[in-house]
Structure 1
């Protein structure tokens, strides 16, 4: 089978799915937010609510994933969900109505969660087949959104410029069409390798053998991760634009952030393999908090955008990109280290749900704060504080004793 002979290519194929679910389905919005906000006359609260809509859908998708995977094989579910995500990203370019965009973001969020949960289960299964490469294979899967971020940062500025050149009424609409097209291309590439992974047998409905009470600290730390990281990913481009960075510099910043996400799989593989409790999440949350504070403090203290400030901003992006999806991978590693295989779907679903709940809270609060006197910088300070709190809480998680 392809997955037995080519574990890394199979992991890369799974990563194309995570690129669709998060890199294109969610994080590309960070590039479109400034132009959509200006064109549609949105407040930062409304702009943030669009990512909240995506997170609401993500929560619904996470909670419904186990039911769906009892009705259809995990492999097929993963592929179908990629297609559904692409459809509703395409529809996001078919309207300029805020309510319709909100609904499409919700449905795209549902499908994205289906992709991510199913992909996490398949990545864990692939890691169990190739146990000596498990951490790296998980890291490759969770580094996939970096590809989506990089594709967005390279493609959307060109599409947006072309839309303006041909006098398209809402230039950002063509960008959504381009995102959907990229999703379909990536889906076609991943079908054969993903189908070759032996699926985890679905567990009958009922109580998990691993009680949630036994891993409350890492769940709470992961909730704060969801609150904190999404504020950065939603608003950092808008903040840097406010600080006066040129469009070309902004696109390079976002592209390098995406490259750092892809590179993070090897960077943190040994960490994920070594720690069995909440230590990995604690370390990664703390680093993300530092990355969030850098652009916020530059804005608060009115730093001139000279060479040193630009270097600091790019360091923030590289650090954030090199860490944030490894924090997600750390929870799948925790499930794999501490739960029997029959509980993997349930465990990953619980983590994905708490992640989604944090993402619902994060963009709305950060957007609300950003509309106030403190502006976007105060919103990113909140993100950093949430991440530091999440890091501290995660240190309280000990490895589980399996029966």
Structure 2
């Protein structure tokens, strides 16, 4: 049987990222208004369900930090698909919020097991001077998945109403099964057997050996706050505050996905040329500006802002991951990136619930987005402390 190599490996890893991130996480974001209105009318409960997903992701990163010292990256990645597909299947039939919460937890846990090993598998399949591009291409896969799920949500809700949100998860599950079968058949990764060496503190012992680890972890954590608040509540902000129709709000979410397709690749190439430090500082500032544009509610400005949010949503983590890949060995990458992702996950656990609570207290999403802008500027400040390449 022929197996993947080079850029084919990158493509297959990107397909896996669609299942882990786009289907397993961001489907809920675009369906949040429909799920909220069908199961519960509270933004706080809706935020809690989102928190369940990212809490599982946080737990998963803790587990990955240990698994990657004993098992090959590809083995860990494959195990994650079991949990992701099980979660998608559960969401497709969830009769209430409790069952949906269990399904989202399974998706989040599986997403961590898939995502953490993915950048190293992709980056080491290509040459040293193309690693940023490879990592960015994997992030582009997430963007493609967001486009798919955004359009699915728009079509399903237009035809069948809010109560048909489960149909989107059913389609995601079917596409996920096909994607996983293709990955299992063709994706291979050459890696020497891990030594089984213990890592301290969920991988932070390994992470601390990397130059600039405080700055890159801080920037990644700030990104976790700002992006998840913005993406989770984008459609809610536009529908509830700006008076957008379901179709128009879903279209804006799709534009985020389109931007993410190009964002990872574009910023990966830029970081390959000018370094991660400058790329991150400018990127975070641009992200904050785009969120200000979305707050205006003006359709033309929101269109541009949504695309830019997508570019930064796909691009900023690609630059962060590329930095970790460049500054760690193959064996150290797993625990090091898992540790950075653990800190990032803490932000994700907090941000959906924080956003939902603020929305309920204020009766809108303006302050929610202002908080996201503040975190974006904080990320830029942390990135200034990175060493020059």
- Which residue of the partner structure matches residue 134 of structure 2? 137
Taking a change above 3 Å as real, the CA distance of residues 285 and 87 of structure 1, as seen in their structure-2 partners, is same
Pairing of 1:142-221 with structure 2 (within 5 A)? 142-161=139-158, 163-164=160-161, 170-195=163-188, 197-199=189-191, 201-203=193-195, 204-207=197-200, 208=205, 211=208, 214-221=212-219
Q: Which runs of 5+ in 1 are unaligned?
A: 300-308
Query: What CA distance in whole angstroms lies between the structure 1 residues aligned with 2:326 and 2:371?
Result: 32
Query: What CA distance in whole angstroms lies between the structure 1 residues aligned with 2:254 and 2:192?
Result: 35
- Do residues 230 (structure 1) and 228 (structure 2) align? yes
Taking a change above 3 Å as real, the CA distance of residues 210 and 31 of structure 1, as seen in their structure-2 partners, is closer
Pairing of 1:14-163 with structure 2 (within 5 A)? 14-127=13-126, 130-161=127-158, 163=160
- Which residue of the partner structure matches residue 244 of structure 1? 243
How far 1:275 sits from its partner (Å)? 4.9
Q: Answer yes or no: is the 8 Å Cα contact 1:121–1:200 preserved in 2.
A: no
Q: Which runs of 5+ in 2 are unaligned?
A: none
Q: How many correspondences in the alignment? A: 381
Q: Answer yes or no: is the 8 Å Cα contact 1:261–1:322 preserved in 2.
A: yes
How far 1:50 sits from its partner (Å)? 1.4
Taking a change above 3 Å as real, the CA distance of residues 252 and 76 of structure 1, as seen in their structure-2 partners, is same
Partner of residue 342 from structure 1, selected from 310, 316, 331: 331
SS of 1:186's partner is helix
- Which residue of the partner structure matches residue 331 of structure 1? 320
1:262-316 C-alpha deviation (Å, 9 max, x unpaired): 12233212322245554333222222111222222x15xxxxxxxxx21101101
Query: What CA distance in whole angstroms lies between the structure 1 residues aligned with 2:327 and 2:128?
Result: 15
Q: Answer yes or no: is the 8 Å Cα contact 2:139–2:314 preserved in 1.
A: yes
In the superposition, the TM-score normalised over structure 2's length comes to: 0.91
Q: Answer yes or no: is the 8 Å Cα contact 2:266–2:315 preserved in 1.
A: no
Taking a change above 3 Å as real, the CA distance of residues 113 and 252 of structure 1, as seen in their structure-2 partners, is same
SS of 2:365's partner is helix
How far 1:200 sits from its partner (Å)? 5.5
Taking a change above 3 Å as real, the CA distance of residues 123 and 374 of structure 1, as seen in their structure-2 partners, is same
1:83-124 C-alpha deviation (Å, 9 max, x unpaired): 320211210232232233222212211110111012122123
Query: What CA distance in whole angstroms lies between the structure 1 residues aligned with 2:73 and 2:36?
Result: 38
Q: Answer yes or no: is the 8 Å Cα contact 2:87–2:105 preserved in 1.
A: no
* Cα root mean square deviation, aligned: 2.2
Deviates more, 1:109-118 or 1:150-159: 150-159
Q: Answer yes or no: is the 8 Å Cα contact 2:220–2:340 preserved in 1.
A: yes
- Which residue of the partner structure matches residue 306 of structure 2? 317
Q: Answer yes or no: is the 8 Å Cα contact 2:27–2:149 preserved in 1.
A: yes
How far 1:125 sits from its partner (Å)? 2.1
Partner of residue 382 from structure 1, selected from 361, 371, 377: 371
Query: What CA distance in whole angstroms lies between the structure 1 residues aligned with 2:277 and 2:101?
Result: 35
